[in-house]
Chain A
Amino acid sequence: DIQMTQSPSSVSASVGDRVTITCRASQGISSWLAWYQQKPGNAPKLLIHTASNLQSGVPSRFSGSGSGTHFTLTISSLQPEDFATYYCQQAHSFPITFGQGTRLEIK
């Protein structure tokens, strides 16, 4: 199975900050990586697919990059509604696996 490791596990930041979350795969997955945002009590929301493609309706302050085993999600200027938990997911092979999550908290 492909292991997905996110870092950091949690981060504190302020409105307007730039934040980067990293996801590493235990083996190469090309660009088959997605990022999700989840708020308490809600289902996850797809932000980015295929490593860098912004899902329709997602603000342009979100961006993704990387390929192979190293990927990043960047939020260019944090907004109050961005404080949530973020997950990466590999879509290269079964079983599909998720990172453990990164909790983004208000400083």
Chain B
Amino acid sequence: QVQLVESGGGVVQPGRSLRLSCAASGFSFSSHSMHWVRQAPGKGLEWVAVMPYDGSNKYYADSVKGRFTISRDTATDTLFLEMNSLRTEDTAVYYCAREWNVAAAIDAFDIWGQGTLVTIS
């Protein structure tokens, strides 16, 4: 079964750090680009970062550039988001998502995790 399961969310104070994880299963993890997308309470979707399928050029939203780092462990099929210097405006549900198109540089997201809530307060 194709699945993504996020973990690591919680309540942290402004300025602190947090690391999110996304465990993938049921598909070839290294063949798909993987993304983090967040949604503030009651708001719309905001793309955060991408890990390309080949591990090459990573991209970030301007709102997190320099503070967040996306990485992966292909041995355990796990995607990570290291979040530093957290701000109140980073409060959101964070989803990891898979690009549907194998070996694509950028495309739509067909598999999403259930999300993990990060609260900065």
Binding site for B on A (CB under 8 A): 1, 32, 34, 36, 38, 43-46, 49-50, 55, 87, 89, 91-101
A2 to chain B, nearest CB (A): 11
Give the residues in chain A near B113, CB-CB below 8 Å. Answer: 43
Q: Which partner residue on chain A sits nearest B61 by CB separation? A: A95
Q: With A and B bound together, what is the CA distance between A106 and B45 in angstroms?
A: 23
B45: chain A residues within 8 A (beta carbon): 36, 38, 44, 87, 89, 98, 101
Residues of A contacting B: mostly:
loop
Chain B residues near A38: list those with CB within 8 A.
Answer: 45
Q: List 20 A-B contacts (CB under 8 A).
A: A1-B62, A32-B106, A36-B109, A43-B115, A44-B109, A45-B112, A46-B100, A46-B109, A46-B110, A49-B108, A49-B110, A50-B108, A87-B44, A89-B47, A94-B106, A95-B59, A96-B35, A96-B50, A96-B106, A97-B47
Q: How many A-B residue pairs have CB under 8 A?
A: 64
A95-B108 contact, Cβ under 8 Å, with A43-B113, A100-B44:
no
Of the residues B46, B59, B115, contact of A98 by C-beta under 8 Å: B46
With A34-B108, A43-B113 known to touch, is A94 a contact of B100 (CB < 8 Å)? no
- Could you tell me if A96 and B100 are in contact, using CB atoms closer than 8 angstroms? no
Given the known inter-chain contacts A93-B106, A94-B106, please indicate yes or no for A44 contacting B112, CB distance below 8 A.
yes
- The residue among A44, A87, A97, A100 with the most chain B CB atoms within 10 A of its own CB is A44
